């Protein structure tokens, strides 16, 4: 950041007026002496001689302390997977299936689509203990049984929100409303990127639907916009409008960008606004991406056995394709890769979103790609430096959803009080289960992990202290965890 802009961020109107009698003279003196202008140690651009910003916004930065993880692949199952049918086995819930829910668990609580006294709903999936640690997993995600010894399962997650959009925003920005920087933006702000030819933060979406939290889930909020996520596509052009228009060759585009760079550099020297540095960096990145993105996003270059392992089909926009793309992007130095896969809102309102066959269809395809990704990262020696997260924004109720309570289809309502999440890779224990919910799955019984605790822990794995990763905005320092969160050291390797 330009030193002038950085200093001005600390000056509020109250400070300005309170020190105005001497402050205006000091401002003039400082401007004359040039004490606010950093010495330019970079080459000047041709033509205007305007200095370019000395530090590029996405240049790699050192972490607060040594860390194992260098990058993140976050696999978000948008809609909230039914954890009681996947990772958190409850024999007691099966025993009391169809009985009235104990009133103490629903009294005074609000649910998205359920009222009155609902019926308890035991899982219809077959569970098995898998791996050396004997982790419970259902057959709906059977391909993931093979990677049980690589993962930590948290069965004591909790959040504050029970509707999709605010829950996703709380998970990814630390705040339940739009406007705050996203997790990936904070990571790129803190660490920069190791890739010079691709964005530091890439977003991939499958199943045809954006997450309920919208682009706020990967937005930069009040951080400079260079840190926001770039949505790429696994089908068609990797990034819309990246290609040169008809009639413009690469040399002509380069001349145009040089002229724009010189004009923006003049403005940056005069005003020092971080968005000007962002503009310069983004134009240059887009020019380099014209070649690099096409190559990185072309999974047809992969061997047939790799495509088969993931279940990927070149040219489609599937979750399997995106998992393979995540590995390719990680190999090329992208810092944060975020996948959103829609179709996990298992209310039981249609055959694809009911917890028997619908869950098996969705879970099997997804689990195959997830398992392939983790095995692939390990085989390439990347898993120890890659933090992989799989899960949703909240959990599902231990009872039947109200709208479908009389239907032949089975479904569960939204539930924020406890849910499950799966993690593996850089800095995370392998073959471990953390926390537990009670016998019926209504409350966290042991080792509660709030979403702010999860954020603090993931940042810690990257070498970032969540209390020190701050940005000053509107007179105070903001952070991803706001004023909350603690590192869950029990899950650290």
Token pair 């205006």 in the structure block, residue: 24
- 120 close to 100: Cβ distance less than 8 angstroms: yes
The answer to whether residue 39 sits within a structural domain is: no
Token pair of 433 as six digits: 């289960």
Same domain, 253 and 215: no
Same domain, 212 and 75: yes
**Can you tell me the distance from the alpha carbon of 403 to that of 349, in angstroms, rounded to the nearest whole number?**
8
Alpha carbon separation from 489 to 140, 158, 442, 450 (Å, rounded): 30, 17, 25, 14
Same domain, 135 and 49: no
- 136 close to 87: Cβ distance less than 8 angstroms: yes
Mean pLDDT, 10 residues at a time, over the chain (493 residues)? Answer: 52 51 43 36 37 70 96 98 98 97 91 93 98 97 98 98 97 97 98 92 93 96 93 68 65 72 77 71 65 82 97 94 97 97 96 96 98 98 98 98 91 97 97 98 98 98 98 95 97 96
The answer to whether residue 22 sits within a structural domain is: no
Same domain, 260 and 213: no
- 135 close to 431: Cβ distance less than 8 angstroms: yes
Token pair of 130 as six digits: 């898998």
Same domain, 135 and 109: yes
- 400 close to 115: Cβ distance less than 8 angstroms: no
DSSP for 440-472, please give it: TSSSEEES-EEHHHHHHHHHHHTT--TTT--EE
Token pair of 195 as six digits: 């890739």
- 152 close to 387: Cβ distance less than 8 angstroms: no
Nearest to 382 by CA among 143, 149, 70: 70
Q: Provide the CB-side half-sphere exposure for 189 (13 A, CA).
A: 29
Same domain, 161 and 261: no
pLDDT score at 250: 67
Same domain, 350 and 339: yes
**Can you tell me the distance from the alpha carbon of 327 to that of 379, in angstroms, rounded to the nearest whole number?**
12
CA-angle at 44, arms to 40 and 46, nearest 5°: 170
CATH code of the domain in which 434 resides: 3.40.720.10
Same domain, 228 and 339: yes
State which of 276, 296, 316 marks the end of a domain. Answer: 296
Nearest to 424 by CA among 137, 78, 154: 154
State which of 279, 296, 313 marks the end of a domain. Answer: 296
Domain that holds residue 373: 71-238+297-491
Alpha carbon separation from 75 to 281, 342, 389 (Å, rounded): 28, 11, 6
- 461 close to 432: Cβ distance less than 8 angstroms: no
State which of 277, 296, 315 marks the end of a domain. Answer: 296
The answer to whether residue 272 sits within a structural domain is: yes
Provide the phi-psi class of 449: left if phi over 0, else alpha when psi is between -120 and 50, else beta: beta
pLDDT score at 40: 33
Same domain, 258 and 345: no
Same domain, 282 and 397: no
The answer to whether residue 32 sits within a structural domain is: no
> In the 8-state DSSP scheme, what is residue 428?
B
- Rg (Cα) of the chain, in Å, rounded? 25
The total of structural domains in the chain comes to 2
Same domain, 303 and 265: no
The answer to whether residue 438 sits within a structural domain is: yes
**Can you tell me the distance from the alpha carbon of 51 to that of 44, in angstroms, rounded to the nearest whole number?**
5
pLDDT score at 273: 72
The answer to whether residue 134 sits within a structural domain is: yes
Same domain, 224 and 263: no
pLDDT score at 8: 55
């Amino acid at each position: 950041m330009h030193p002038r802009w950085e200093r001005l961020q600390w000056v509020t109107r109250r400070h300005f007026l309170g020190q105005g009698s001497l402050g205006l003279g000091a401002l003039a003196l400082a401007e004359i002496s040039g004490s606010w202008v950093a010495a330019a140690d970079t080459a000047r651009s041709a033509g205007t001689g305007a200095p370019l910003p000395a530090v590029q916004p996405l240049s790699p930065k050192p972490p607060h302390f040594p860390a194992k993880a260098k990058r993140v692949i976050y696999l978000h199952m948008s809609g909230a997977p039914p954890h009681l049918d996947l990772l958190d086995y409850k024999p007691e819930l099966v025993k009391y299936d169809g009985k009235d829910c104990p009133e103490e668990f629903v009294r005074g609580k609000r649910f998205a689509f359920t009222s009155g006294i609902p019926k308890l709903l035991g899982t219809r999936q077959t569970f098995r203990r898998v791996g050396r640690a004997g982790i419970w997993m259902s057959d709906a995600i059977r391909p993931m049984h093979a990677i049980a010894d690589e993962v930590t399962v948290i069965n004591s997650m909790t959040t504050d929100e029970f509707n999709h959009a605010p829950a996703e925003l709380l998970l990814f920005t630390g705040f339940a409303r739009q406007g705050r920087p996203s997790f990936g933006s904070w990571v790129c702000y803190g660490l920069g990127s190791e890739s010079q030819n691709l964005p530091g933060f890439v977003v991939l979406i499958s199943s045809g639907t954006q997450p309920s939290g919208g682009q706020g889930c990967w937005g930069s909020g009040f951080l400079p916009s260079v840190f926001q996520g770039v949505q790429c596509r696994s089908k068609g052009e990797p990034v819309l409008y990246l290609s040169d228009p008809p009639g413009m060759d690469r040399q002509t585009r380069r001349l145009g960008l040089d002229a724009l760079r010189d004009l923006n550099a003049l403005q940056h020297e005069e005003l020092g606004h971080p968005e000007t540095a962002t503009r310069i960096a983004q134009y240059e990145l887009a020019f380099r991406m014209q070649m690099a993105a096409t190559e990185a996003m072309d999974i047809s270059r992969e061997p047939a056995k790799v495509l088969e392992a993931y279940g990927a089909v070149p040219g489609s926009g599937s979750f399997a394709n995106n998992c393979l793309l995540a590995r390719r992007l990680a190999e090329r130095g992208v810092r944060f890769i975020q996948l959103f896969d829609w179709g996990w809102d298992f209310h039981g309102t249609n055959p694809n979103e009911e917890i028997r066959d619908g869950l098996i269809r969705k879970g099997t395809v997804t689990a195959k790609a997830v398992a392939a990704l983790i095995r692939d990262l390990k085989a390439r020696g990347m898993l120890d430096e890659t933090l992989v997260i799989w899960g949703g924004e909240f959990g599902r109720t231990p009872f039947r959803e109200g709208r479908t309570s009389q239907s032949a289809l089975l479904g569960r309502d939204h539930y924020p009080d406890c849910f499950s999440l799966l993690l593996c890779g850089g800095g995370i224990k392998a073959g471990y289960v953390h926390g537990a919910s009670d016998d019926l799955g209504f409350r966290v019984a042991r080792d509660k992990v709030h979403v702010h605790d999860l954020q603090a822990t993931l940042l810690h794995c990257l070498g970032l202290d969540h209390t020190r990763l701050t940005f000053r905005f509107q007179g105070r320092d903001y952070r991803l965890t706001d004023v909350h969160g603690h590192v869950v050291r029990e899950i650290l390797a």
